[in-house]
Amino acid sequence: MNIYDIAKIAGVSIATVSRVVNDSPRVSEKTKRRVRAVMEEYQYTPNVFARGLGLDSMKTIGIICPDVADSYMAAAVAFLERRLREYGYDCILYSSSHQQEKKEQAIELILKKRIDALVLVGSTYAGNGSDDDSTGYIKRAAEKIPVFLINGHLEGKNIYSVYSRDYQATFDVTSKLIESGRKQILFLTDSRSYSARKKLEGYEAALKSHGLPVRGELKVYTKNQVHYVRDILLSRRDLEFDSVLATDDGLAVGAVKYAHARRKKMPEELSVIGYNNSELSVCCEPELTTIDNTGEKLCNITIDNMMKLLGGQKDIPKEVPVDCCLVKRCTTDF
Amino acid sequence: MNIYDIAKIAGVSIATVSRVVNDSPRVSEKTKRRVRAVMEEYQYTPNVFARGLGLDSMKTIGIICPDVADSYMAAAVAFLERRLREYGYDCILYSSSHQQEKKEQAIELILKKRIDALVLVGSTYAGNGSDDDSTGYIKRAAEKIPVFLINGHLEGKNIYSVYSRDYQATFDVTSKLIESGRKQILFLTDSRSYSARKKLEGYEAALKSHGLPVRGELKVYTKNQVHYVRDILLSRRDLEFDSVLATDDGLAVGAVKYAHARRKKMPEELSVIGYNNSELSVCCEPELTTIDNTGEKLCNITIDNMMKLLGGQKDIPKEVPVDCCLVKRCTTDF
DNA sequence: CTGAAAGCGCTAACAT
DNA sequence: ATGTTAGCGCTTTCAG
């Protein structure tokens, strides 16, 4: 069943059928009804390829994230997908891992699909802070289609960034920790991404502004796996710390497990603060105080901006920062 | 830059360029090299639409699951996506929720994309057990393209099912519970899907085979949210139980939280068993004994079968059950 | 308001 | 081994 068949049956030309399919105003209601009836009866579905060929667009948005299995990413992807569908867009999904080469490859592949826009979820796409060409591939992609970063930030033509104020969040919470009497705050992270760097900067700035030294050994990089983190911490018998600020809830839960193993009371002997307000934060014992970086909000703003842009609007903000909020639970005394 | 431009520049016909793109053996190495050089130089990318139009395939697989934000689904989708990419396939992703209407709609939409095959993740697509036409839409989809169910089972032409032996798993673990002295085993679930039904059946069969009564009040349906589950359990002061078998780790963690609130010792006063061996199972305290339904294995088998089928092979098994395995941790005494 | 016809870029059968 | 050409199904001027 193609457009010719329908045209023949309905006794009109293919142009008219096409107009009906696209709901053009230049067709009489009567004709529209007749054609629609035929399409209905014969279960006609326009061929998306042919359509794409003509329009050079398939109403699909590309989404790339390092790993959909990560709960934060998964939530974002789920949310994006749902909202995009409301607007009649499809999603094609790529996982790129964090490796530079794979990330470049993912973008190259996805661009071939003639997507209408590209969404990059996660600050891993905002470069690693070095001044090599680690983000060049994104800028090149932006020459072809608009690129939207979620929780990352990159300057460039046709690149739009929505990110959370991680610097401010860690600055504030580190300050609270210090003001409640903590002096040895362990910074626990698994990443050197844009957002991880901002978190670190906020942490360090807070230490400095309270006259505390920034000690290298109190920054620990580890894999994001509960038991792995616990064991790393247990093995570092030299390290003394009275609180932990983690860049992800998984890491923070590792710290909680460490505290159990060492029989340290929380929050008295060890304060722990997680990040992302994920399901994990409410599973451990005691439950985690965590920073909610409001992924949903970031996604919403991104989608809104994208739809405006694809709709032809021009005044889209190049970057919009969003405040985090602290979810107080039981691993801190504030 | 299209195939004509390249042909002109390389001084060959478009047919030759096309052959080079598709790596046909009927082109001399010399010509191939020359054409490739031109394609490289001008950054030529074949137009997927035009290609799709001719071949009526775009080398993409549709994936539908109720909710990618769910960690089990997310892991499956991540895994599928990665492996499909290895085979040069793209993924288009739809979340359908559990509502019948939305599920039907998702399939209808995704079929329009001319995907090469459809993967349905989650036993929600295996019907609700009633004998109405709740799975008819899937059978209709299978008339057009092969449909692969992951962790579900459906008879039908062109439908291939890979699922875990949930019945056996719950039968075994319930038996162990009974043999270790438990008599009041609470069955905790959030679903009436195919797999949830199988789990329930295994549980009931084990009770019966040990001469224990199947008590309706010991089956509780709830939302899959840690605190919600805890509160439900706390509110049912009438209910007495010495162990919990949950159909998902999230539910099981809820039960653990309940035990804390009631100051019940685990596993002595309350045994808890989760399902899916998710990250959550290792976050709570004590850590959950859980049934691993080996989602990765299910995905792998599915992909292997799919590639065989798309490659033209005919002898694909219509259904393959996979054994679960019990991950023993601290909420049980076996 | 409707129709005829020219592409869109590629594949594949047919010819050389 | 390479070229010619007829579609694939749709959108979109351009005419009427």
Bases of chain D below 7 A from a protein C-beta are: 1-5, 7-13
- Given a cut of 80, is residue B253 above it in pLDDT? yes
Measured CA to C1', the nucleotide nearest B15 is D3
Taking contacts as CB-CB distances below 8 angstroms, the residues of chain A near B85 are 94, 109
Q: Cβ neighbours of residue A275 under 8 Å, at least 6 residues apart?
A: A199, A246, A247, A248, A249, A252, A290, A291, A293
Instruction: Find tokens 């060890």 and name the residue.
Output: A270
| Contact state of A48 with B112 under an 8 Å Cβ cutoff | yes
Three-class DSSP category at A291: strand
Contact at 8 Å (CB) between A251 and A224? yes
Listing DSSP states for A139-173 in one string gives HHHHHHS-EEEES----STTEEEEEE-HHHHHHHH
The reported pLDDT for the residue numbered A150 is 97
Distance from CA of B54 to the nearest CA of A (A): 9
| Surface of A (128-187) touching B: CB under 8 A | none
Residue A119 to residues A28, A302, A307, B85, B202, Cα–Cα distance (Å) = 40, 9, 12, 19, 44
| Surface of A (7-36) touching B: CB under 8 A | none
User: Which ranges in chain B are annotated with CATH 3.40.50.2300?
Assistant: 60-164+295-322, 166-292
pLDDT averaged per 10 residues, chain A (length 334):
91 92 90 93 90 84 95 94 92 93 94 92 87 86 94 95 97 98 97 95 98 97 97 96 98 98 97 96 98 96 95 92 98 95
Please tell me whether any atom of strand D lies within 7 Å of the Cβ of A37. no
| Contact state of A226 with B279 under an 8 Å Cβ cutoff | yes
Q: Cβ neighbours of residue B172 under 8 Å, at least 6 residues apart?
A: B202, B206, B326
- Given a cut of 90, is residue B133 above it in pLDDT? no
The reported pLDDT for the residue numbered A32 is 93
**B73: closest chain A residue by CA:** A69
SS3 assignment for A292-312: ECCHHHHHHHHHHHHHHHHCC
Q: Is B1 on the interface with A (CB under 8 A)?
A: no
**CA–C1' A54–D9 (A):** 10
* Tens-digit pLDDT profile for residues B30-49: 999 999 999 999 989 999 99
Taking contacts as CB-CB distances below 8 angstroms, the residues of chain A near B93 are 77, 81, 91-93
User: Of A70, A91, A282, which has the smallest distance from its Cβ to B92's Cβ?
Assistant: A91
**CA–C1' B52–C6 (A):** 21
Please tell me whether any atom of strand D lies within 7 Å of the Cβ of B55. no
Contact at 8 Å (CB) between A270 and A242? yes
Taking contacts as CB-CB distances below 8 angstroms, the residues of chain B near A52 are 48-49, 52
Read off the pTM: 0.91
**B279: closest chain A residue by CA:** A280
Listing DSSP states for B191-235 in one string gives --SHHHHHHHHHHHHHHHHTT----GGGEEE--S-HHHHHHHHHH
Residue A39 to residues A18, B107, B140, B142, Cα–Cα distance (Å) = 11, 19, 18, 22
Taking contacts as CB-CB distances below 8 angstroms, the residues of chain B near A284 are 283-285
- Given a cut of 80, is residue B255 above it in pLDDT? yes
- Domain range A166-292, CATH architecture: 3-Layer(aba) Sandwich (3.40)
User: Where are any strands of DSSP class E within chain A?
Assistant: 60-65, 90-95, 117-121, 147-150, 159-164, 185-189, 219-221, 243-246, 271-275, 289-292, 319-322, 325-327
What does DSSP assign to residue B24?
-
Amino acid B18 reads S
Please tell me whether any atom of strand D lies within 7 Å of the Cβ of A15. yes
Torsion of CA B248, B240, B235, B190, to 10 degrees: 20
- Given a cut of 80, is residue B185 above it in pLDDT? yes
- Report the C-alpha gap between B326 and B170 in whole angstroms: 10
| Surface of B (243-282) touching A: CB under 8 A | 250, 253, 260, 279-280, 282
Distance from CA of A211 to the nearest CA of B (A): 35
In DSSP terms, A251 is beta-bridged to none
User: Which ranges in chain B are annotated with CATH 1.10.260.40?
Assistant: 3-52
User: Of B50, B77, B260, which has the smallest distance from its Cβ to A285's Cβ?
Assistant: B260
Within 10 Å of residue B70's Cβ, how many Cβ atoms? Answer: 24
Q: Which of B113-127, B161-175, B203-217, B238-252 has the lowest mean pLDDT?
A: B113-127
Structure tokens at B241: 């139980």
The reported pLDDT for the residue numbered A173 is 98
The reported pLDDT for the residue numbered A263 is 97
The reported pLDDT for the residue numbered A103 is 96
Residue B30 to residues A49, B20, B23, B27, Cα–Cα distance (Å) = 33, 11, 13, 8
Please tell me whether any atom of strand C lies within 7 Å of the Cβ of B59. no
Please tell me whether any atom of strand D lies within 7 Å of the Cβ of A50. yes
| Contact state of B92 with A95 under an 8 Å Cβ cutoff | no
Structure tokens at A125: 């796409």
Strand A271-275 to A243-246 pairing:
parallel
Percent of chain B with pLDDT over 70: 99
Select the residue from A40, A49, A108 to test the B interface by mutation, using most B Cβ atoms within 10 A: A49
Contact at 8 Å (CB) between A321 and A165? yes
- Given a cut of 90, is residue B131 above it in pLDDT? no
| Contact state of B92 with A92 under an 8 Å Cβ cutoff | yes
Q: Cβ neighbours of residue A189 under 8 Å, at least 6 residues apart?
A: A196, A199, A200, A219, A220, A221, A222, A246, A247, A248, A251
What does DSSP assign to residue B98?
S
Contact at 8 Å (CB) between A123 and A295? no
Residue A237 to residues A187, A233, A240, A258, Cα–Cα distance (Å) = 16, 8, 8, 12
Q: Is B74 on the interface with A (CB under 8 A)?
A: yes
| Contact state of A90 with B113 under an 8 Å Cβ cutoff | yes
| Surface of A (31-50) touching B: CB under 8 A | 45-50
- Report the C-alpha gap between A4 and A50 in whole angstroms: 13
Tell which CATH classification among 1.10.260.40, 1.10.2020.10, 3.40.50.300, 1.10.10.10 matches the domain B3-52: 1.10.260.40
Q: Is B95 on the interface with A (CB under 8 A)?
A: yes
Within 10 Å of residue A80's Cβ, how many Cβ atoms? Answer: 28
Taking contacts as CB-CB distances below 8 angstroms, the residues of chain A near B95 are 78, 81-82
The reported pLDDT for the residue numbered A67 is 95
The reported pLDDT for the residue numbered B57 is 81
The reported pLDDT for the residue numbered B114 is 86
User: What's the order of all strands across the beta sheet hosting B289-292?
Assistant: B219-221, B185-189, B243-246, B271-275, B289-292, B325-327
What does DSSP assign to residue B248?
S
**CA–C1' B63–C9 (A):** 28
The reported pLDDT for the residue numbered A59 is 86
| Contact state of B94 with A82 under an 8 Å Cβ cutoff | no
**CA–C1' A52–D7 (A):** 17
* Secondary-structure class of domain B60-164+295-322 per CATH: alpha beta
**CA–C1' B58–D1 (A):** 29
Strand B243-246 to B185-189 pairing:
parallel
- Does residue A321 have a cis peptide bond before it, meaning omega lies within 30 degrees of 0? no
- Report the C-alpha gap between B111 and A46 in whole angstroms: 11
Bases of chain C below 7 A from a protein C-beta are: 1-5, 7-13
| Contact state of B48 with A111 under an 8 Å Cβ cutoff | no
* Tens-digit pLDDT profile for residues B41-80: 998 999 999 988 888 788 899 999 999 999 899 999 999 9
The reported pLDDT for the residue numbered A131 is 64
Nearest CA to the C1' of C7 belongs to which residue?
A54
User: Reduced to 3 DSSP states, what percent helix, strand and coil does chain B have, rounded to the nearest 5?
Assistant: 45, 15, 40
A47 vs B326, residue with greater confidence: B326
Instruction: Find tokens 């995907």 and name the residue.
Output: B115
Structure tokens at A260: 């159990």
Q: Pick from B82, B219, B25: which is nearest to A96 by CA?
A: B82
CA atoms within 13 A on the CB side of B70: 19
